[in-house]
Amino acid sequence: MKFTAIIEEGEDGWFVGQIEEVPAAMSQGKSIDELKINLLDALKLVLDVNKELTEKEYSGRSVIKEELELI
């Protein structure tokens, strides 16, 4: 799966952005390349936190977990 970065140049010369498909993943950087790295870090953090919250919600329950791949 690929993600789309929405990027703007701020008034202070920094670049700010977010992941279009996961709006909670936001970051900034001194350059577009730095911003893209930071956005991927933010995306990983959002996904990790969501996974942790979901694991806690289903803790102790009988569930089936199946991997899915978006192509």
21 contacts: CB under 8 Å, gap ≥ 6? 3, 4
Q: What are phi and psi of 29, to 5 degrees?
A: -165, 160
Q: Determine the distance from the C-alpha atom of residue 60 to the mean position of all C-alpha atoms in its chain, rounded to a whole number.
A: 28
Give the ranges where the chain is alpha helix by DSSP (H). 32-57
Predicted TM-score (pTM) of the model is: 0.88
Q: Tens place of pLDDT for every residue, the chain, 71 residues?
A: 899 999 999 989 999 999 999 999 999 999 999 999 999 999 999 999 999 999 999 999 999 999 999 88
- Domains of the chain, by residue range, sit at 5-57
In eight-state DSSP terms, residue 55 is H
Nearest alpha carbon to residue 9 among 25, 24, 29: 29
